[in-house]
Amino acid sequence: MCTGATFSKYKDWNGLMTMKAHTRRWLLAVSVASLLLAILFYMERGAPAAQFTHAVRAAPGLLPHSVPAPEVARAAPAPRPLADPIRERYIVQAASAAEAASAVLRVGGQVTGDLSVIRAVSACLDDSELAALRNAHVARLQVYADAAVTASSVRGSLPETYYPSEVAAKDLQVGGVTGAGVTVAVVDSGLWSEQGPDQSAPGQTRSRVLAQYDVIAASQQVWGLSSTTAATSTVNDTFGHGTHVTSIIASSGVATTGNFQGVAPGVNLVAVRVLDGNGQGSYSNVIRGIQWVILHKPRYNIRVMNLSLSAPPTSAYWEDPLNQAVMAAWNAGIVVVVAAGNRGPTPMTIGVPGNVPYVITVGAVTDAYHPLQTSQYKLASFSSAGPTYEGFVKPEVVAMGGHMLAYAPDNGTLAQEHPEWVTSAFDDFTMSGTSQATAVTSGVAALMLQVSPQLTPDDVKCRLMSGAHPAVNADGTLAYTVFQQGAGLVNAHDATYSTASGCANQGLNIAADLFGGQHFGGRGNYNPKTGEYYIMATTQGQVSSASSGLLGGLGGLIGGLATIVSQVPLVGPVLGGLLWGVAALGDGFLWNGSYNSGDVYNWSGGYNWSSGYNWSSGYNWSSGYNWSSGYNWSSGTASSSGASGINNIPAQQ
């Protein structure tokens, strides 16, 4: 139900539309009165006098005193007042935000927010207004339900503080690489007013929190918050999740071992509050937060945006309005790091916006309470797995996300509900989830950008993947498939000093994707006959009959690439075998969707991806792609049903 106030930008517009309506009604009344006067004038001049006299003469014998008294009528019961129609929240998209706002106002709806980043506005509409809007002839009109999003965290117990060392960030910190000069925007539940170790970088006293913006407060005010006011106001974190995530990225607190608690303790911070005191938020608020980050990127040198939140996908990635905003941020030069979600370990559980092919989507690993013993690290069972419904391999990488200790409010909702997870002496809190793994990766990205500030988002993604350490068995085969671990566990040192290039987002075109002229599918697929997921390779042979299933009906050439799609078979312990006389990719791995956490693995930095991460590339989404049966998307609407939350996730790992 809608409770927000009219967005200030369109308030005068709304008044103008109302004034125009009143003017039209007044002109109509004047016209009708003029017409009646003309008719009476004609009757008076043209009708015979006798007829006119007879018309007004009283009938004989019917005197006033002889008129029977009318019956006393019983008073009718007063009608019940009609209930005001219930308005719901929607995102209305058109050729421009102005046209979307105009369309909403024409049908009597209420505009509650500007979402220009995706050519849209947030709005409140009742059923009749919604029907009128859908029937209106508005160019590029799309109407989406303002779906719910939640924080992607798992709650647990037993504090642990080793994650900067477990991803090799400590090695860089010792050498003076702390993320200095790089700004990370955390779009979450805000930042605790008692900023503690998040307030200043090591050796400094000035605040490194450059700006805070409260989208929720802005949406509840008639005139909203101006960019200047919002950028200097204090935004408190009443939930605790945003502060926890921020602390993993940036805490400058020093542990008893002498190590920093955060991955990138020298970064600057921007806090954008889009989740409320219960860790819940709406699509429109998250989009407005992302839009604010894009607009203020030059002012605050925002290079990384952390999105530790998730919602279930309900449409193709390019049709989702939150995904469109995320793609706009990536296209604006911001490295977007996103949580995979906590609906694992089953396949095809990647959430929104983690299903965007361009961004860095992160799964979670736990050290199983054996810190710094890499052979004990396990893929967390809650970590969502790919492929996406469009066939993209996700996540790109995994990071530490089990029982993560970080600074957080001791009076927030999370702390009040679970005081046993609070380390009261230090205001630290323990949580698990892909939210926390995302924060670790955002910190690593900041370290990379301090050393190599010229890197583009695609460059950062490529080097993160090239520097990652996948889990492998003793015989050299992958312990987890690319659908579960991507390129492997992030390694800050190896990613920062990698020289890899051109290995991310190959075959994709984000500008065309945003414009709507071209969309893409990935190389993950599903064989319904065997129940296995696999990677499709490009060869010069003929199309395999197995290339059906998830993406179905792929016959012929894809996107004019003059390559043919076929299934990559399981190559077993010997990588680099032959496929029709062509070297096998070595990254193809059949997966029956099962999860195994009982073996001992080696997270190896020497694994040879012989294909250069071709499994992460994409192809033009042409008419040859057909949705597989059982995945029917709602047309043009995002539903809030089934939103992932922190309460339906397994216990701490």
Q: Would you name the residues annotated as active-site residues? A: 188, 241, 435
Give the pairing of strands 183-188 and 302-307.
parallel
Residues 634 and 313: their CA atoms lie apart, in Å, by 11
Bridge partners, 379 (sequence order): 365
Question: Which of 360, 299, 375, 282 minimizes the C-alpha distance to 326?
Answer: 360
Two structure tokens written together for 378 = 């396990």
Residues 264 and 292: their CA atoms lie apart, in Å, by 23
Amino acid at 250: A
Two structure tokens written together for 167 = 């991803």
CB neighbour burial string for 351-380, b if at least 16 within 10 angstroms, e if fewer: bbbbbbbbbbbbbbbbbeeeeeebeebbbb
Residues 428 and 420: their CA atoms lie apart, in Å, by 11
Q: How far is CA 145 from CA 37, 88, 92, 464, in A?
A: 51, 8, 9, 35
How many other CB atoms are there within 10 angstroms of residue 126's CB atom? 18
Residues 525 and 541: their CA atoms lie apart, in Å, by 18
Two structure tokens written together for 57 = 């003469």
Residues 322 and 458: their CA atoms lie apart, in Å, by 20
Q: Could you give the count of Cα atoms lying within 13 Å of 194 in the half-sphere of its Cβ? A: 11
Angle CA(6)–CA(8)–CA(13) in degrees, nearest 5? 85
Contact 435, 309 (CB under 8 A): yes
Residues 77 and 522: their CA atoms lie apart, in Å, by 66
Residues 571 and 579: their CA atoms lie apart, in Å, by 9
Residues 147 and 455: their CA atoms lie apart, in Å, by 34
Residues 510 and 331: their CA atoms lie apart, in Å, by 7
Residues 318 and 181: their CA atoms lie apart, in Å, by 33
